[in-house]
Amino acid sequence: MRPHAVTVVTLGAAQTLAWASTYYLPAILAQPMARELGVSVVTVHAAFSLAMVAAALIGARAGRAIDRLGGRPVLTLSSLVFAAGLAMLGAAQGWVGLFGAWLVLGLGMGAGLYEAAFATMVRLDAVQARAGITGITLMAGFASTVGWPLSAYLELHLGWRHACFIWAAAHLLIGLPLHVSLPRQAGPASMQAPSNGAQAEPGAASPSRAMVFLLSLAFAVIGFTSTAMATHLPRLIQAAGASLGTAILVGSLIGPAQVAARLAEFGLLRKVSALTSARLACACHPLGVLLLLLGGPSLAVVFGLLHGVGNGVLTIAKGTLPLALFGAQGYGHRQGLLMIPGRFAQAGAPWVFGLVLENGVSWALVLSGSLGSLALLALLLLPSRPPAASPTPVA
């Protein structure tokens, strides 16, 4: 039988490649793309927003396919779609080609990023899924660490088009074999979880509309804040009065803070319920905003660390909370539906937060802090122990 750790490493490596070559690509290649294609940088980011919308629309269908067939065929297909989209991007000659390429990449993102990997993990082994999801995000947390320097190096020495072609080849030569190596048939996802709630509860009751609304609201707010910070953090820190050097330092600490938080989730917080862990993480960003508003640029590093810690654990929570609250039955489809508002929020976050930041850093901080508090409130309103139902095997 294939060891659990091998599957985690396989999915973690594939996710690192997927995130590095899609979500983190515009930060490095948007400007050279815009110059050569004769469009604005805003247009390039608009094309990326289209990809997020496409991912939202395809995610539930991909999740349902994983529920029925397991993750291997869906993720294998996503590798081919990623390769096609990146090849199209490298060959684009104008805004039509640009938007078409990102539309294809968005379909790949909806079927090949975290939600699909999480659903695959749950379909294989629901009882160990929380540890598996944590391991996947722990590895993929280095996607920007690997992707940004590599994309920058390729663009500098070969140009952005060749960078896209090389990323496309990586999906065929690395991502595709990794996904093909996954187990052909998923195992049962109806195993009972430990009573302390540290793992998933595959036999949890059917979700109420209120629970679904609260969780999707929390995910949408978390997605908005995460994407807004990823896009505007250095500018935000400078607007708060810090130097460029401090802003760069704060940005460089986000990744290590996320990884450290995921290590804590894997170790210290392993016996804590997924909901409690998510609530603690959700409080980090609002607390950081409050400290930055009160203490000014002297607390910018603390703000960055708190945001990184919270974001690191909340990425895991997007996979573990639906499992803990609603169970493994239909997990992939439900996960895709829950993430639709979040994908749309991510698509609009760079533009909306940028407009608010133009009107003053205090307004931007109040917005992100208030949204973080709203997400925390939504999680606090969720029941800590949903009533259990009889476990039902996945079809």
* 175 & 218 share domain: no
Of 182 and 142, more confident:
182
**Percent of all residues in the chain with a pLDDT value above 90, rounded to a whole number:** 38
Query: Whole-prediction pTM value?
Result: 0.80
| Residue 258 is assigned to a structural domain of this protein | yes
DSSP notation for 113-162 = SHHHHHHHHHHH-STTHHHHHHHHHHHHTTHHHHHHHHHHHHHHHH-HHH
* 213 & 175 share domain: no
Question: What's the pLDDT at 336?
Answer: 82
With contact defined as beta carbons under 8 Å apart, do 255 and 142 qualify?
A: yes
Q: Is the pLDDT of residue 79 over 90?
A: yes
**Percent of all residues in the chain with a pLDDT value above 70, rounded to a whole number:** 91
Helix (H) or strand (E) holding 329: none
- Each residue of 30-78: pLDDT tens digit? 889 999 999 988 888 889 889 989 998 898 889 889 988 888 999 999 9
* 218 & 131 share domain: no
pLDDT confidence of 185, banded at 50, 70, 90?
low
At 235, which CATH number? 1.20.1250.20
DSSP 198: S
pLDDT confidence of 206, banded at 50, 70, 90?
low
| Residue 333 is assigned to a structural domain of this protein | yes
Q: How many CB atoms lie within 10 A of CB 211?
A: 18
| Residue 269 is assigned to a structural domain of this protein | yes
Q: Is the pLDDT of residue 266 over 80?
A: no
By residue range, what is the domain housing residue 46?
4-180
Q: Is the pLDDT of residue 220 over 50?
A: yes
Mean pLDDT of the chain: 84
Q: What is the tally of structural domains in the chain?
A: 2
| Residue 392 is assigned to a structural domain of this protein | no
Q: Is the pLDDT of residue 330 over 60?
A: yes
Buried b (16+ CB within 10 A) or exposed e, 349-363: bbeebbebbeeebee
Tokens of 319: 């996979």
